[in-house]
Amino acid sequence: MLRFFGRDKKTSESSQETGRSWTHIVGNVFRRSEVDDEFWEDLEEALIVSDVGVETSMALVEKIQEEARWRGARTPEAVYDLLRSEIAAMLSDEERSNGFDDDGPSAVMVVGVNGSGKTTTIGKLAQAAKKDGRVPLIAAADTFRAGAISQLEIWADRTETMFVSSSAGADPGSVVYDALNAAKSRGADFVVIDTAGRLHTAHNLMEELKKMRRVLDRHAEDFTPRVLLVIDGNTGQNGVTQAKQFSDAVGCDGVVLTKLDSTAKGGVILAIRGEMGLPVRYIGTGEGIDDIAPFDPQEFAETILPVN
Ligand SMILES: Nc1nc2c(ncn2[C@@H]2O[C@H](COP(=O)(O)OP(=O)(O)O)[C@@H](O)[C@H]2O)c(=O)[nH]1
Ligand SMILES: [Mg+2]
């Protein structure tokens, strides 16, 4: 599913702001005249500042040093090209490229902290699914607050998508259950489920999400269960912590990296990939309904480290 829609909007066109930040910070290192110890130290530091994380930055620099030695790359320009290729290779996900692109019906739980862009992403996914000939159904299982339900309903109306909700305070697991049954009887083949994201409140979000996941798993014969984690591209190292928490609770299939149209550095995605192996599936590139694109590692690498 969602095979063609992203072609309207390229990763490289839509994340120019992110590219600018990298060109400024990481690009500067390559102005040095020599590839010496100081160069490597500066490169590592620039990657860390770009949210790539200490562990992943060190591993990346080590890999590139090795590669540079092996290939006899001795100039900053040559190392720059190696870095770009290595980043693209690291983010690509060939062996699992079909993991989310299910041919049959699927049900996707969208998780992430408050404000990361879950509700907006759900509207965009429903729209994209329609363009792709799918029949989506949106489930409002963020029942923590009435405002969350009505915000999602606006997206359902805008995209003319079937909508299943309950009242604020209702059990989110039962909303998922109702949504899957409704999807089955009404012929929907792509169920997108909104969830709460308030980590710092008394109610136990992770336990609630686990319950929802169990409901999904019980319907696995009818709808392939999927979990997408939404991460704000502006998030620094905290994004890794988020990825760990949500993955531990419900197991994530992939990440949607949002707000790449803003001053997001996006480097956290390298840290998430490096430390946890989670692939990026989609990028959010604005607040509009069509501002989503499948993630393209090569284009992303060329955006943050432009080909001269
Ligand atoms: N610029 C930009 N803003 C976004 C993007 N995705 C979401 N937003 C904005 O981020 C804010 C929070 O989004 P929302 O979907 O409500 O997040 P939620 O709390 O995770 O459901 C809203 O103001 C959205 O318009 C994106 O890709 N780019
Ligand atoms: Mg929301």
The whole-number average pLDDT for the span 85-91 is 94
Write the residue with the smallest CA distance to atom 12 of ligand 1.
115
The Cα 307–Cα 186 span in angstroms is 49
Reported as a pLDDT band with limits 50, 70 and 90, residue 21 is: confident
Q: 1-308, which class in CATH?
A: alpha beta
Tens digits of per-residue pLDDT, 131-181? 989 999 999 999 988 899 999 999 999 999 999 999 999 999 999 999 999
Reported as a pLDDT band with limits 50, 70 and 90, residue 202 is: low
The Cα 304–Cα 80 span in angstroms is 11
Residue type for position 184: K
pLDDT attached to residue 9? 54
Write the residue with the smallest CA distance to atom 6 of ligand 1.
117
Is residue 194 pLDDT above 70, yes or no? yes
Reported as a pLDDT band with limits 50, 70 and 90, residue 96 is: low
What is the Å distance from ligand 1's center to 46 Cα? 28
Q: Which residue would you say has higher pLDDT here, 235 or 17?
A: 235
The Cα 299–Cα 2 span in angstroms is 18
pLDDT attached to residue 24? 83
Reported as a pLDDT band with limits 50, 70 and 90, residue 87 is: very high
Residue type for position 284: G
Given 3-state DSSP classes, what are the helix, strand and coil percentages for the chain, each rounded to the nearest 5? Answer: 50, 15, 35
The Cα 78–Cα 96 span in angstroms is 30
Q: Which residue would you say has higher pLDDT here, 6 or 195?
A: 195
pLDDT attached to residue 108? 96
Reported as a pLDDT band with limits 50, 70 and 90, residue 1 is: very low
**Contact (Cβ atoms closer than 8 angstroms) between residue 228 and residue 254:** yes
Tens digits of per-residue pLDDT, 97-109? 444 567 789 999 9
pLDDT attached to residue 7? 46
Tens digits of per-residue pLDDT, 118-127? 999 999 999 9
Lowest pLDDT segment from 23-32, 65-74, 182-191, 213-222: 23-32
What is the Å distance from ligand 2's center to 38 Cα? 45
DSSP per residue, 129-193: HHHTT--EEEEE---S-HHHHHHHHHHHHHTT-EEE---TTS-HHHHHHHHHHHHHHHT--EEEE
Q: Above pLDDT 70, what percent of the chain?
A: 90
Write the residue with the smallest CA distance to atom 4 of ligand 1.
287
pLDDT attached to residue 274? 92
pTM over 0.85: yes
Closest C-alpha among 156, 96, 127 to residue 5: 127
Tens digits of per-residue pLDDT, 212-260? 999 999 999 999 999 999 999 999 889 999 999 999 999 999 999 999 8
Best of 16, 18, 120 for a ligand 1 pocket test (most atoms within 8 Å of beta carbon): 120
Write the residue with the smallest CA distance to atom 25 of ligand 1.
287
Q: What is the largest CA-CA distance in the chain?
A: 66
Q: How many CB atoms lie within 10 A of CB 275?
A: 15
Closest atom of ligand 1 to CA, residue 114: 19
